[in-house]
Amino acid sequence: MNSMSPPVADREDAAPRAMPSEEKLPPPRSTVRRMFRHRSLLAGSCICVVLIGLVAAAPLLTGADPNQQNPMAILQPPSAEFPMGTDAFGRDLMARVLFGGRVSILASVTVVILGAFFGTLMGLVAGYFGGRPGFLLMRVVDLLLAFPGILLALAITAILGPGLINGIIAISVILVPVYARLVEGATTEVCALPYIDAAVTLGAGPWRILATHVLPNLMPSIIVMTTIWLGIAMLWISALGFIGLGVQPPNPEWGAILNDGQQFITLAWWMTVFPGLFLSLFVIGVNLIGDGLRDELDPRVAQ
């Protein structure tokens, strides 16, 4: 009898000792501060905040109409009156770059939101339910992945016709299989864990399990992929605008502005330098954010 008493005492003492470890969990504010100590994450956030701030404050920074032509100010170099110069139609390039940035950034964000939503939904359904529905969904995903992304976007845009909305739809279709493949594999791994079986035993429905147990475990990977693909979506939106399949003239957009300036690159360098600089900085900024988030949120990389 005496030999059995020490384990009981140990078990009784174990509970009070476990409580301090739970209290030492870092609060959300400290987690955010720790994340922003990451140099890439901090640098990328600063770049994106400055660019988005400039674009959002476009009406305050310039009073010019981005589509207003001025035949008396054609191809003017940067000056006090025109900080970024003018284009071949005498339009204020600063106004076009800032207002065009609104279109480019909003279109890129819309693309990744649509691609992430439908791709995640397909991946969750295929990974959790499996069987014939999962098999059919994944074969559709494989079919889409078999085509090069930009060629698929060009084909869809050619079918739907040129325009910003059709360009957004085309690039979103490219992102859907990328998200679906990632989420399907991760969902299959999560569903094999014991707590999913426990939730099923307690009577939780499939959609409740997906929403409360599976999806939260996938969110770090989805967030990291979204930030990385935001820069790629920006490049593809600009590419469609550059070749005339995106935003239609005279509406400004970074890719369309670059297309306007390509034939004057030796005569009016500012027509390509300024929109190209804004485009490059945005892509660099979101890529730095993606690298930082991957280091902080991905359990395979985080320390």
How many Å apart are CA 262 and CA 267, to the nearest integer?
Answer: 10
What count of Cα atoms within 13 Å lies in the side-chain half-sphere of residue 120? 20
Residue 245: is its pLDDT beyond 80? yes
Long-range contacts at 227-232 (CB < 8 A, ≥ 24 apart): 227/286, 227/289, 227/290, 227/293, 228/286, 228/287, 228/290, 228/294, 229/112, 229/115, 229/175, 229/178, 230/108, 230/109, 230/112, 230/286, 230/290, 231/282, 231/283, 231/284, 231/286, 231/287, 231/290
Does the structure show a pLDDT above 60 at 82?
Answer: yes
What is residue 14's predicted lDDT score, i.e. its pLDDT? 40
Q: Between 22 and 36, whose confidence is greater?
A: 36
* Mean pLDDT, residues 63-89: 93
pLDDT of residue 23: 38
272 against 32, higher pLDDT: 272
* Percentage above 90 pLDDT, the chain: 51
* Four-point Cα dihedral 244, 245, 248, 252, nearest 10: -70
Average pLDDT over residues 22-28: 46
Residue 74: both structure tokens together: 């054609």
Q: What is the pLDDT of residues 94-124, one digit of tens each?
A: 999 999 999 999 999 999 999 999 999 999 9
Is the pLDDT at 152 greater than 70? The verdict is yes
Q: Helix (H, G, I), strand (E, B), or coil: what is residue 301?
A: coil
Q: How far apart (Å, rounded) are the C-alpha atoms in residues 282 and 101?
A: 10
Backbone φ and ψ of 38, nearest 5°: -70, 125
Q: What is the pLDDT of residues 153-177, one digit of tens each?
A: 888 888 888 899 999 999 999 999 9
Confidence of residue 27 (pLDDT cuts 50, 70, 90): low
- Look at 19-33, 132-146, 220-234 and tell me which has the smallest mean pLDDT: 19-33
Whether the Cβ atoms of residue 177 and residue 144 lie closer than 8 Å to each other: yes
Of 127-141, 196-210, 214-228, 249-263, give the lowest mean pLDDT range.
196-210
* CA 134/CA 146 separation, integer angstroms: 18
The per-residue pLDDT of the chain, averaged, comes to: 85
Encode burial over 79-117: b for 16+ CB neighbours within 10 A, e otherwise: eeebbbbbbebbbbbbbbbbbbbebbbebbebbbebbbe
Q: What is the pTM of this model?
A: 0.83
Instruction: Give the lowest-confidence range in 117-131, 193-207, 230-244.
Output: 193-207
Q: Which residue has the higher pLDDT, 224 or 15?
A: 224
The answer to whether residue 253 scores a pLDDT higher than 90 is yes
Q: Is the pLDDT score of 72 beyond 80?
A: yes
User: pLDDT band at 197, cuts 50/70/90?
Assistant: confident
Contact 82, 73 (CB under 8 A): yes
Give the CA angle between residues 170, 173, 177 to the nearest 5°.
Answer: 155
pLDDT on residue 299:
54
Residue 79 and residue 38 in contact, taking contact as beta carbons nearer than 8 Å: no
The domain limits of the chain are 87-303
Domain range 87-303, its CATH number among 1.10.3720.10, 3.30.230.30, 1.10.443.10, 2.40.128.260:
1.10.3720.10
Confidence category of residue 25, pLDDT binned at 50, 70, 90 = very low
Let me know if 41 is exposed, middle or buried by CB neighbors in 10 A (0-12, 13-18, 19+).
buried
φ, ψ (nearest 5 deg) of residue 242? -65, -40
Query: Which comes out higher in pLDDT, residue 2 or 71?
Result: 71
| For residue 5, pLDDT beyond 50 | no
